[in-house]
Structure 1
Amino acid sequence: MYARGFGSTGVRVPVIGQGTWRIDSADRSAAVEALRAGIDAGMTHIDTAEMYDDGEAIVREAVEGLREEVFLVSKVVPGNATRRGVVRACEQSLKRLGTDRLDCYLLHWPGHHPLEETIAGFEDLRRDGKILSWGLSNFDVDDLEAALRIAGPYRIACNQVLYHLGERAIEHAVIPWCAQHGVALVGYSPFGSGEFPDPSSAGGAVLASIAQAHGTTPYAVALAFLTRLDNTFTVPKTVRAARAIENAGAADLVLNAAEIAMIDAHFPRGPRPRTLPML
């Protein structure tokens, strides 16, 4: 499993991890089996959040006995992101996850509480060893600049944002900003939340053709494209063990320049939007 440095943390993390949004809507045993299959295949970066209903509890079951192998990430909702609220929310996540620490803790999206308070709470948690690093989610460049002014350089570990073949807006400014400032870019919903290109479409046919050439799947081709840049990671979700193993294989798939150009032509990034897309 190919890994790279995760922002300023100094930790090497697999480029393809595992997301858990809505994982609790599936059969629980199947969800746990899929996460474990992914871990066994090298996808040890596990992403969850306090707002994912039973997601943290499912992750707890999946990583039981494997905690030291896993890079575990959770998120605090903005409504809880006061200085004290961040600490309380993190402690509750730790309890649900059955661990004494998070490898990274994120603010789920920008909220109304002052960012200075949120970051102070993150630093309190980091000082006490309850988190090893912290980051952000759904932050556009203006918000990232504000966080950088408050925290200083090399404190923001990552920014997690929407990124799939049909939504490449972050390539205009967010990815370059993160690369410039040593911030890992983690793309969520890399398969487009149920809108993956149909094989009968022109774009879908391109993915299928490239997949056939490499003896893999169109999903793996998409993941390889989305992690082609040096600071990018992605966290696909699946509740199927076989698909988890397929996803993991994408980490070692290297697309050539012609294949990247073909994908780029059929899934153009389009103009830069006024606001950052998010789910």
Structure 2
Amino acid sequence: MSIQQITDTTVLNNGVHMPWLGIGVWQVEEGEQVIHAVQYAIEAGYRSIDTAAGYRNEAGVGAAIKQSGVPREELFVTTKLANSDQGYEATLRAFEESRRKLDLEYLDLYLIHWPGKDKYKETWKAFEKLHKDGYIRAIGVSNFQVHHLESLRQDSDTVPAVNQVEFHPLLSQRELLTYCRQNQIQLEAWSPLMQGNLDLPLITDLASKYNKTPAQIILRWDLQQGVVTIPKSVREERIRENANVFDFTLSAEDVQALEGLNKNSRFGPNPDELLF
């Protein structure tokens, strides 16, 4: 897959263009820290910003967007519904609250953050309404497994545009990746850098081979598999470093070798165990 610059995009199943690389702001403090992180990213060329109601920093993200001076239509802004706000009416209210905090007229992507137990179908109907009414350009899900996606498909004609999941060499999610490819659902990686646990001999060796950092090796691995990736950092130099992944290509053998690290190991919750 030829992804050669930070402005390159994937085309979602409804025709919306989404950048392959974005910045995530999980665990980034509201206020100056998140404002600076987003500003650093935009200055470095990032055009996709991923937040969530549960991160409690939507207002700071919105402030950074306003202060950036970049036209709104050039940015791709994602937020996610909090678990406690699932359900039709609660979702509509929660969306308005997120939109108010972000101070945006519309969102580019809105995601159900976690499937939970039994409300996500009702929630999805509210997502469909918000999309139909023009408040969201694309709707999707996060942390959905194949069985969640299949269940949703039974009661809806709208296929999620995106499924954002934990994805990295230790959790390569082959079945889910294949399913999403077959059903035109764009897979997106959260915690692609394994929350900093990069000290693995193969990754270190590849970093040396390509004269790149371990983080850059993994981010390039994501992109070459057609997976959108949103690494998080608050440091300007690291944010710029994470964007410097468009001037090299991993060999097919090295992509496969990284996949061989898979242990089905999670650093975050298992979606089938996080029930609410």
For Structure 1 versus Structure 2, the TM-score category normalised by the shorter chain is 0.7 to 0.9
In structure 1, what is the equivalent of residue 213 of structure 2?
217
Say which SS state the counterpart of residue 182 (structure 1) adopts.
coil
Distance in 2, Cα, partners of 1:187 & 1:130: 24
Distance in 1, Cα, partners of 2:251 & 2:196: 27
| Contact kept in structure 2, 1:7 and 1:158, CA below 8 Å | yes
What is the TM-score with the length of structure 2 in the denominator?
0.86
5+ residue gaps, structure 2, are: 1-5
- 2:184 partner amino acid: G
In structure 1, what is the equivalent of residue 206 of structure 2?
207
| Contact kept in structure 2, 1:188 and 1:235, CA below 8 Å | yes
Q: Which has the higher contact order (CA 8 A, sep 6+)?
A: 1
Say which SS state the counterpart of residue 156 (structure 1) adopts.
coil
What is the CA deviation profile of residues 41-99 of structure 1, one whole-angstrom value per residue up to 9, with x for unaligned ones? 3321111110112x212211221133322111111123212111111000000011010
In structure 1, what is the equivalent of residue 17 of structure 2?
12
Distance in 2, Cα, partners of 1:241 & 1:147: 40
- Which aligned pairs between 1:102-181 and structure 2 lie closer than 5 A? 102-152=107-157, 155-168=159-172, 170-171=173-174, 173-181=175-183
Which of 37, 60, 84 does residue 58 from structure 1 map onto? 60
In structure 2, what is the equivalent of residue 227 of structure 1?
223
5+ residue gaps, structure 1, are: none
Deviation at 1:30, TM superposition (A): 4.6
- 1:207 partner amino acid: L
What is the TM-score with the length of structure 1 in the denominator?
0.85
Deviation at 1:182, TM superposition (A): 0.6
> Kindly tell me: are residues 6 and 48 of structure 1, through their superposed partners in 2, closer, same or farther at Cα, counting changes over 3 Å?
farther
- 2:206 partner amino acid: L
Deviation at 1:147, TM superposition (A): 1.3
Pair 1:76 & 2:81 matched: yes
Distance in 2, Cα, partners of 1:264 & 1:113: 33
Backbone CA RMSD of aligned residues: 2.3
- Tell me the percent identity: 32
